[in-house]
Each structure stands twice: as structure tokens, then as C-alpha cells.
Amino acid sequence: MAVDLHIHSIASSDGELSAKQILEMALNLNLEAIAIADHDSIKSVEEGIFWGKKYGVEVIPACEIEGKHQGKTIHILGYFIEIEDHGLHQLFTKVEETRRQIIDLQIAKLREAGFYLEKEDVMKECNYTVPVNGSFVNVIFADPRNQDNPLIKEYKQKDNYVVRFAFDYLNVGKPFYVSQYVPDAVEAISVIYGSGGIPILAHPGSNLTIEETEVIDDLLNYGLLGLEVYTSHHNEEQEQYYLDYCRRNKIVYTCGSDFHGRFKPKVKMGAIKNNTYEVVERLKSLKNNPRIKRGL
């Protein structure tokens, strides 16, 4: 039986499906276990667990926290978190409030850069919640007034072009970035530990080059316990590189599609390599880690 440990719901703003719809899809795909790991949110986890029990699919409570470290934007997955944890709720509330405050500023920044977009379209794109970078990018790529823009033409030739554009232009330090609160990855790891969770670096190859592996080296000193090696973001060379890194540093590797639905139309739930239940068992074994037991 297969697993998929990185799935996004509508709680991510750029996700398409509800928790119930995700569990129905997981059941049809014969997945034994999944993790609903939304961006800076756990709003769909409880519903996911409920429907998981109904459908006989194990749902691992999880989240994905965007953070920064050594000038790089990275994402930290937290597995087997306690969803009632005060620290998690406090962090996610702060992130949500900040993102709500910069909506108009982000739209203005993109308009100044020559793109057409309307606020109503952005809010509709994120299901009238709080838009993330992908919400803005989806709107400018969909607006017919932008189709002759050279950057739009360039990025439409790339795989995962919406994600690529967001990484290259809207992340911390990039040309269209609007200043906002982004926790340091060390803080994210600490919050995950505080909730009894297991911190894993999501899709490292999408945010870091191989030459930037020292960022991961440093995060190991702060308690990072593994890497998401098998993901829709990695090619075979990256898979092998990060698998070797995990073995060399005696940390775990995980697998997750990063499924969003229509936001990433080429990414299919469960369509990843080496996604056996053994990955879940390795994560469960880490729950006995003394650091996690003490909430460090």
C-alpha cells in the first residue's frame, strides 16, 4: 500500500479540494496513509482525520511552515503535531494577520511591475481566505491582458511555471516581494518540536541549489530530522543527491507529491517514488526521540 505525505487542501488558499474530497480521492487511489500539510495552517486536519476514520485511510496531522534561513526561503513540514498546541496557533495567527495586511500592497507592487490584476480575482482565487504567493501569480497568469508580457511568455515555457515564478519573484528578497513577517526556520523547527511534531525539510531542491546545502547542514544543528527526498519537485539526480545526504547524516527521508489540485495540474496525488508505509513507520519511530518527548 502507498502513502502520500504532502497534500494541500483549501486551507492552504492555493489548494482546490476540501478534506473530505481529498480523503475520497485517497481512498480511490488505494492510499494507506496521507498527511494533510497545509501552508501555515491546520484548519483542515481535524476534518481530514474524521473522514480518514470513515474511509479507512490513516491521516497524519501535519503542516508546512514557510520560513527563512541564511537569506533563503524554505518550507518545513511538521508531522504528528498536536493540533491544539498553543504555539502553533499563535504562529499561524501571526502569519495570517500579516498576509491579510499586505494584500493591497502586493497587488500594487505587481501593478507597478506592469502586470494587470484585480483584487476580486485574487480573493476568488484563494476562496476568499488569505492569499499566498501562488494566488497572486495564478491571477496574473490567467488574466488575458498579461499574455504578451515577456516574463509571462518566458515562464509559461517552464515546468511548474506558477511555482517557479513565485519562487523567483515573490519570495523574500526577490523583485516583487512585499515585506512581511516570515518566521526564521529555526523558529519553525522549535514550534514544531513544541507541538510534539517531527520537523522535515520540504522539497529542498526547489528552494536550494546543491551548492547551498550548507543551509541544511546548519538546520541539522537546530533539530531538523529529515528531508523530503521523493517529491514532484525533484528530478532523479536531486533524488539521489538528497537520499545520499540523508544516509550520510543519518536522518530520515520522506515522500510527498505536494498535491494542490488545479494550482499544480501536473502533480497527481500519490504519484511519487518509494512511497511505502515504511516511511510512516520511520516517522513514528522518531516520536520516541527525547527531544520530541520534551517538546524541544
The DSSP output letter for 156 is T
3-state secondary structure of 58: strand
The residue written with cell numbers 520537523 in the block is: 199
- Would you call 197 exposed, middle or buried from its count of C-beta atoms within 10 A (0-12, 13-18, 19+)? buried
Q: What is the mean pLDDT of residues 21-49?
A: 97
Looking only at the bridges linking them, the beta strands covering 198-201 and 252-256 are unpaired
| Res. 296: pLDDT tops 60 | no
Closest CA to 175 of 132, 116, 112: 112
Query: What is the chain's mean pLDDT, rounded?
Result: 93
One-letter amino acid at 36 equals I
Contact 71, 58 (CB under 8 A): no
Question: Do 74 and 185 touch, CB atoms closer than 8 A?
Answer: yes
Gap between the Cα atoms of 8 and 13, Å rounded: 9
pLDDT score for 173: 85
- The end-to-end CA distance of the chain, in Å, is 33
Asked if the model's pLDDT at residue 294 lies above 70, the reply is no
pLDDT of residue 290: 60
8 A C-beta contact, residue 83 and residue 221: no
230, 273 Cβ separation under 8 angstroms: yes
Confidence (pTM):
0.91
Q: How confident is the model at residue 292 (pLDDT cuts 50, 70, 90)?
A: low
State the pLDDT confidence band at 127, using cuts at 50, 70 and 90.
Answer: confident
pLDDT at site 295: 55
Three-state secondary-structure class, residue 282: helix
Positive/negative CA dihedral, 272, 274, 275, 280: negative
- Alpha-carbon gap, residue 131 to 147, rounded angstroms: 22
Check: CB of residue 15 under 8 Å from CB of residue 263.
yes
DSSP state of 172: T
Q: Which three cell numbers stand for residue 169?
A: 519573484
Q: What is the arithmetic mean of pLDDT over 181-190?
A: 96
For residue 145, count other CB atoms closer than 10 A to its CB.
10
The set of residues, in sequence order, having a beta carbon less than 8 Å from that of 296 and lying 6+ positions away, is: 190, 193, 194, 223
Q: Which domains does the chain have, with CATH numbers?
A: 2-96+191-293 (3.20.20.140), 103-169 (no CATH)
Single-letter code of the amino acid located at 146: N
* Diameter over CA atoms, the chain: 56
The angle at the Cα of 91, spanning 119 to 177, to the nearest 5 degrees, equals 40
* CA geometry: angle 254, 257, 261, nearest 5 deg: 155
- Identify the pLDDT of residue 13: 84
Question: Residue 188: its pLDDT value, please?
Answer: 97
